[in-house]
Amino acid sequence: MTPRLAADDLVIGHGSTVIAAGISFEVMPREIVAVVGPSGSGKSTLLATLAGVIPALSGRVLVDGADVTQVPIHHRGIGMIFQEPLLFPHLDVTDNVAYGLRRQGMSRAEANERAATLLQWLGLAGYEQTSVDQLSGGQAQRVALARALAPRPAVLLLDEPFSALDADLRRRLVIEVSEALRHEGTAAIHVTHDLAEAAAMADRVITVPEAPESGPSALGRPAPPA
Amino acid sequence: MGGGDGPLNAPRWLGWAWAIPAAFLAAFLVYPVIVLGARVGLGDGWSGLTAASTWQVAGLAAVQALASTILALVVGIPMANVVSRYRYRGRALAQAMVTVPFVLPTVVVALAFRSLLGSGVPQGFALVVVAHAYVNLAVVARIVGAQWAQHDDRYENVARTLGATRWQAFVTVTLPGLRGAIASSAAVVFVFSFTSLGIVLLLGDSTTRTLESQILRQTSVLLDFPGAAATAVIQLVLVTGVLLAGAMAGRRSPRRTMRPVALRPVPAGLSGIVVRVAVATTVIIVIAPVAALLLDSLRAGGAWSTAWWSAMGSVDAGTTRIGSPLGALGMSLGYALVTAVIASIVGGLAAVAVLSRGRARVVALLAIAPLGVSAATLGLGTLLAFGRGPIDLRGTGLLVPIAHALVAVPLVVAVVAPALRATDSRRLAVAASLGARPTRAFVTAYGSVLRVVMLASAALAGAVSLGEFGAASFLARAGNPTVPVQIVRLLSRPGEESYGVAAALAVVLVALTLALVLLVDRFGMSALQRSARTA
């Protein structure tokens, strides 16, 4: 079976600074993979590189077997959720969720219908016209999830999306997001520093050991078996 | 100010700091505006409010101001991007360069554009719009740049991962985030262009008249003071409306996650080339007119010459024998000195009043009101109120510096108030707990910052006075013109000599203004750093 997403001997970093080298892994269709590791180990840089936000220093990123390393962000089919929801404040909840669908050329009516379906699934029915300023932290993160899932990305990258939430809400959202991903059949990489959170959500966990005192991050070292 | 509830253990006189600025503003801003309003009721003043010719000029000015605003935004927004967001060698210089057009006197800018474009571009709409856009680039670049510098790029990244192209992400995400700053800067540019006088007089034609030039014409040619008062009132109402609309649009701008964002490295590839070209273009756009002016001051009869510079001390230097260019310079420097003293006292006390509560804050707000009153309106109002009995100040030589101080006070407040707010008020309590009396404690807490910041604001007020033309054109006495008035008079005469001497005089004005602005920058930054260190 062709992996949904694959990293092939990837080298990540900023400019001439290498953060991690020799990164290779695969994410299969419908699979949720967690990457757990300490701060500074290059987890967020890895996600940004996979999404195309920053360029790979070398190596390849493959989506459904196709090399997308040089493909611009908006054509990769990779969605991303950050630590903060980063909802567009000038748009209401529905317009936020429909944003990606509208960019795909979907009509407003169709996009709104898909947005309403996702919002209902995530327990946000009735909030369609609400200003995003009025949402609680948990509601805002659910809207961000709906927005990311709406265009049906090949893979969804989650960059510590629950770390700013309190413990109770985090536990609930981990379950809800996990269910939403499985319901949509979306493969995902979930970056976190919380092993329990990773175990609760993922099919497979990759742990990144502490980086050595000098030299690149340990992210590129062979991952322990799942 | 740390805490923001007003300083603890403040001296009692602080509660009365508002009284001097309140009295000054009541006497020299409110009273002249009332006199102006009363004049509308005399003669044909009421009909002036509905005169078709006045509204026709208002329409022309609005079209011109709209075009100037659009051009300033089109050029200024990319400038804001390159000077505020990227890290490269010479960035601080590029940022300072962008500010230069705004601090240059408008008559100097007009003359510089004449020097740059020669007779290639005829006087009229296009030239006026280009010059207005040039002057106001700093307004757009600074206001929009300040907002853009804090803008979180991750919003665009989210949009891109959702399928938006770079352009779609800019239009659907970045621009709405900058909407407030763009609206605010557009309102300011519109008002500056709508109320322009110096540039319109020197570069315009019959299609580019403004209400400001109409007021000057009504008073100096038609001697129709009630009509001029009516025009001034119309302008005041229109300008206030535009500024309020801009402020409301800015307030309605949605809030979004702001975080301290480090300057970005210039990207590689085509984007990097675009950024570098934009920086180079910015610098060239700013420098070219001033360089052309300097060259024109050194060219006589088609050859290099210092003739115009040598002639500066002569009464016959292309003038109507109203005084030598150096005499005008001396007059302007004298006015600038008096303006600096008045504006820093009035503005400084108004800024100190910000530290208090209640009516004192009202005075601080009133102190920035002159921003909405055009220079010609101030000049005309001052002339009507104090240019003849019962209170005739013409012989005192104070009318020009008083009007200039009114123009400068809002800027002084803008410099002093943030420095005072940034100073930790708990230092008052510390000084008091160590036995200092309230006034001594106040000096201990705020003295060092105030000393530096007052010098900066005095320099700023001096720079404003040196370049101000609108009010001075009403108030400067015929035999004692200021430099900008002298330049306009020189340019109204034909001949190479008049032009060359005007160019030399303008270059001197540029040098003096830039020197004062550099002082402001140095003192202002120093004060803020002191506040930050001790807060």
Report pLDDT digits (tens) over B31-78: 988 888 787 766 666 677 777 888 888 899 999 999 999 999 999 998
**B1 domain residue, yes or no:** no
Could you tell me if residue B180 is inside a domain? yes
In-domain check, residue B10? no
- Our count of domains for chain B comes to 1
Strands A58-63 and A155-159: unpaired
Report the gap between the CA of A14 and the closest CA in chain B (Å): 10
Residue A214 has pLDDT above 70, yes or no: no
In a domain, B225, yes or no: yes
Question: Is B4 a residue whose pLDDT tops 50?
Answer: no
pLDDT mean across residues, chain B: 82
Q: Do B257 and A86 touch (CB under 8 A)?
A: yes
CB contact under 8 Å between B168 and A51, yes or no, is: no
Smallest CA–CA distance from A98 into chain B, residue? B162
Rounded CA-CA distance B152/A85 in Å is: 12
Contacts of A153 in chain B (CB under 8 A): 161
**How large is the ipTM?**
0.85
Kindly list the residues from chain A whose CB atom is less than 8 angstroms away from the CB atom of residue B166: 72
Interface test with chain B among A16, A78, A90, by most B beta carbons within 10 Å: A90
SS3 of B247, please? helix
H or E, element range at B274: helix B269-297
Mean pLDDT over B91-103 rounds to: 80
Give me the mean pLDDT over the B325-334 stretch: 90
What is the side-by-side strand order in the sheet with A5-14? A17-27, A5-14, A58-63, A66-67
Whether B409 has a pLDDT exceeding 50, the answer reads yes
Tokens 């493909």 -> residue: A71
Residue B8 lies in a domain: no
Q: How far apart are CA B222 and CA B25, in angstroms?
A: 30
Closest partner CB to B164 (pick from A89, A90, A103): A103
Range of the domain at B373: 15-320+330-534
Q: Which amino acid is at B250?
A: G
CATH number of the domain encompassing residue B73: 1.10.3720.10
- On whether residue B255 sits in a domain, the answer given is yes
CB pair distance less than 8 Å for A80 and B168: no
**Residue B2 pLDDT grade (very low, low, confident, very high; cuts 50, 70, 90):** very low
B11 upstream amide cis, omega within 30 of 0: no
Nearest-by-CA chain B residue for A87: B155
- On whether residue B5 sits in a domain, the answer given is no
- Distance from the B169 Cα atom to the nearest Cα atom in chain A, whole angstroms: 10
B163 and A CB contact within 8 Å: yes
Q: Is residue B339 part of a domain?
A: yes
Which residue's entry shows tokens 């322990």?
Answer: A224
Sort out which chain B residues have CB atoms less than 8 A from A90's CB and list them. Answer: 176-177, 179, 254
